[in-house]
Amino acid sequence: MKLEEFRTTVAILTQRELAELSGVSSSTIQQVEAGKPFSKLSRGRILAGLSKHLNRQVSADEIDEFRERR
């Protein structure tokens, strides 16, 4: 599942909310969702933010953009 779809249908968050939970900028979320390069640190922070919000571990395998960057 793409990050945008996961964010809007599973986590039900705006880009800004996810950015705040993850400790990254809104532009980082926009970049990831647009398929632009991003760091492993950003990936980890976004996964941690999603995990905290959903009260469960969200793995890289659940997000297409993160699965491809292993």
Return the pLDDT at 68.
Answer: 67
CATH for 3-67 is 1.10.260
Banded pLDDT at 69 (limits 50, 70, 90): low
Hey, CA dihedral for 52, 55, 32, 30, is it positive or negative? negative
* Mean pLDDT, all residues of the chain: 95
Encode pLDDT of 23-49 as tens digits.
999 999 999 999 999 999 999 999 999
For the residues 41-66, what does the mean pLDDT come to? 97
Encode pLDDT of 18-29 as tens digits.
999 999 999 999
Domain limits of the chain? 3-67
Contact at 8 Å (CB) between 2 and 62?
no
Return the pLDDT at 56.
Answer: 98
Q: How far apart are the first and last CA of the chain?
A: 16
